[in-house]
Amino acid sequence: MPPAKKKSESKKFTIDCSAPAEDEILDVANFCTFLKERVKVDGKTGNLGDKVEITDEGNNINVTAELPFSKRYLKYLTKKYLKKKNIRDWLHVVATSADTYELKYFQINNDEEENAEDDE
């Protein structure tokens, strides 16, 4: 009896960049290019092949992977990109669902209002 072929599972992840993209803080096309250059497949960068597909659709980036691919790795690369562009101080990466990340602003103004009330 021949061995059964493993079914290649396809995972789809989404990074929602709508808030910073609308404010023109983040360039989605540039971020997509960064991911294509930095994602490692089989230990090599820039080796996407047929296993990983990264596309930008409007303000979202979709990553479809056919091999074991970690959602956490996408968060790591996103944080690395934010640090490279020096916007890590204003944005953070939040998981909104099991297969979606969203870039959100820190709520700085609430902290300033609380500090002003404490001083009085």
| pLDDT score at 66 | 85
Strand 11-16 to 100-105 pairing: parallel
In this prediction, residue 111 has a pLDDT band, given cuts at 50, 70 and 90, of low
| pLDDT score at 60 | 94
Query: What value does the mean pLDDT of the chain take?
Result: 85
Of residues 108 and 91, more confidence is placed in: 91
* Cα separation, 15 vs 102, whole angstroms: 6
Average the pLDDT over 1-14 and give the result.
72
pLDDT in tens, 34-47: 999 999 888 888 88
In this prediction, residue 81 has a pLDDT band, given cuts at 50, 70 and 90, of very high
